[in-house]
Amino acid sequence: MNRLCILTAILAFLSLCTPSSSSYASYQSPVKAAYWPSYSADSHPASSINSALFTHLFYAFADLNSSTYQVQPPSYDDGSLIGGFSSAVRKTNKKVKTLISIGGGSSDWRTFSAMASGPPSRQSFIDSSIALARKYNFDGLDLDWEFPQSSTDMANLGTLFSEWRSRANKESAQSGLPPLLLTAAVYYASALKVGNGPAYPINYIAKNLNWVNIMAFDYHGGWEPNKTGEHTALYDPNSNISTNFGVGSWLKGGLPSNQAVLGLAMYGRSWILKNTSDTGIGAAAVGAGIDDGTPFYYQIVDLINSTNATVVYDETSASVFTYSDTMWIGFDDPRSISTKVAFLKNRGLLGYFFWTASFDYKWSLATAASQALT
């Protein structure tokens, strides 16, 4: 082999092992994604997902062992759910990409903090996550750490992303398989505490992840029992608790727009009204409403149809609310979802994801979003 051939081979190998914004960070195809909570398998099996409406589907969630820092299926999954997920959703759409999401809102952030704090524990997480994805025929991995609590956590997160990408690339070169997609679910703003807390390591994200899933929901809920609120408000003229502010903070912080995927909700937040004559956004309330304050979209539609509830589209927040007697629910319908997708297109974002694929009503929200992005 002559020197030119040797040099060419070396450069080709390095291109696989070195993070590159052109080969890893810039995922050009529009993303139409959704998470599937595996704990809902009995009522909403993976096979029931209309995967033709999605480009990516996330199995949620794998667990992080608090002692070994290895990634593993949840205790209720003997391997059949995670093992059958990819084949189940590809029956409808052979091209859909699948990812394992690790963590979730009910996981312990302290376990993730400890894992990210040192090289051995990070390696345990990285190696086990890659092995799990390959074992069960997934195309990628998603970290859902809610949330790094300090500047130290954020710095360690950046290191984790860098090492994760490096190891994924090396594994790809060794196995001959395409590099795993690497993503992360993140706070709605680029810094915690409504934009005033520790900031995400955007430079490490841009270099090492394909994209981040911005959780643009849960702005308000039953933890604020005294007044109603739109938990997916696109705009809020009275505060920075809105999708417009959150996305703006990420882009101003340096995240390339084509590495941002916007979160959309297939559920609402509900309250019990204090006075039936006060029914708007911000109306006085006495606590969380139906279904512990978190009704799914299909439940909301059924409730509206059965009670003849009033439905109002709020132009200011680009969200919807409904009320009947003392019941009040803020949510999104096909119109508001389409408005939010138009917003993300205008900002040049990569696409959207839903929480979750199990909560839709006759796939009306997923269909509206897909059509609006096309």
Name, in order, each residue with C-beta under 8 angstroms of 145's C-beta and a sequence gap of 6 or more: 103, 107, 109, 112, 116, 157, 184
Tally Cβ neighbours within 10 Å of residue 374.
8
**Contact (CB, 8 A) for 124 and 64:** no
Element (H, E) at 274: none
Give the residue numbers annotated as catalytic, written as ranges.
146
**Contact (CB, 8 A) for 66 and 75:** no
Q: How many CA atoms within 13 Å lie on the side-chain side of 87? A: 8
Residue 103: beta bridge partners?
A: 144
Whether the ω angle into residue 147 lies within 30 degrees of 0, i.e. cis, is yes
Name, in order, each residue with C-beta under 8 angstroms of 373's C-beta and a sequence gap of 6 or more: 30, 32, 341, 345, 351, 352
Q: Tell me how far apart the alpha carbons of residues 179 and 167 are, in angstroms, rounded to a whole number.
A: 10
| 115 backbone dihedrals φ, ψ, rounded to 5° | -60, -45
Number of helices (H), then strands (E), in the chain:
11, 14
Whether the ω angle into residue 61 lies within 30 degrees of 0, i.e. cis, is yes
